[in-house]
Amino acid sequence: MKETFSVKTIVAIGIGAAVFVILGRFAVIPTGIPNTNLETAYPFLALMSVIFGPVAGGLIGLIGHTIKDVTTYGAWWSWIISSGLIGVIFGLAGRKINLEDGVFGKKEIIRFNIWQIAGNLIVWAGVAPLLDVLIYSEPVNKVFVQGLVASLVNSVSVGIIGTLLMVAYAKTRTPKGSLVKK
């Protein structure tokens, strides 16, 4: 793992976390349930994870969410851990997607979205509420409703904004072998 830690990955984690904090702080639309917003930070996390891999994705989620929480309303650890986890899942989902070479067609879009919806469900409606109960011993039905809403909202925002971001990014890259000799 150490070997794959290039300078670019380190910088991507740092800048990614910074952008995650700002997006999470300023570019959100609240849904009225605590801890649950329509976020632009998660679609961005998806883009970064697909480009830079699961390790970078996980750390951007973890570091970004920690800084965001501590500088706004105190750390809510169960959700911070879940943010890291979703970054890893986005990264794994994007393993076979070669976004750097500008490949992001219909097949990749469908593939990524199936993964991200499954990931969001597992993490926000499974892991996060479970940790809420284990760490904070909050009422079970409260945390699971909260988690379910979060997973739906996040799947939708990643599905729409995230997919658009990746399409836009792929367009800025030059595909491999795109030069044709005449």
Partner 1 sequence: MSDQQLLGYIPNQTVLHRLSGAAKLICFILLSAIVMVGYDTRFLLAVSLFSITLFKISEIRWHEISFVVKFIVVFSVLNLVTVYVFEPEYGVQLYGNRHLIWEGIGRYTLTQEQLFYGVNLVLKYTATIPLALIFILTTNPSEFAASLNKIGIPYKISYSVALALRYIPDVQESFHQIGYAQQARGMETSSKGKLKDRIKGTAGIVMPLIFSSLDRIDTITNAMELRRFGTRKKRTWYAEEKFKRIDYLAISLVAGMTFTGIWLFAVNDGRFYNPFV
Q: CA 131 to CA 117: how far, in whole Å?
A: 20
- Angle made by CA atoms 95, 79, 69, in degrees to the nearest 5: 110
**Helix/strand/coil for 29:** strand
Helices (H), 53-174: 54-72, 77-93, 106-122, 128-136, 140-157, 163-172
The site for partner 1 (CB under 8 A) is made up of: 2, 5-8, 10-19, 21-23, 25-27, 29, 33-35, 40, 44, 47, 59, 63-64, 67, 70-75, 77, 135-139, 141-142, 145-146, 161, 165, 168-169, 172
Comparison of 92 and 138: residue with beta carbon closer to partner 1:
138
- Closest to partner 1 by CB, 33 vs 110, is 33
Q: Is the Cβ of residue 15 or residue 118 nearer to partner 1 in the bound state?
A: 15
Shortest Å distance, C-beta 21 to partner 1:
6
**What is d(CA 182, CA 178) in angstroms, rounded to the nearest whole number?**
12
Q: Give min distance, CB of 34 to partner 1, in A.
A: 4
Q: What minimum distance in Å lies between the beta carbon of 179 and partner 1? A: 22
Q: How far is the CB of 181 from partner 1 (least distance, A)?
A: 29
Task: State which residue, 8 or 95, has the beta carbon closest to partner 1.
Answer: 8
Per-residue tokens: 37: 């917003």
Structural Rg of the chain based on CA atoms: 17
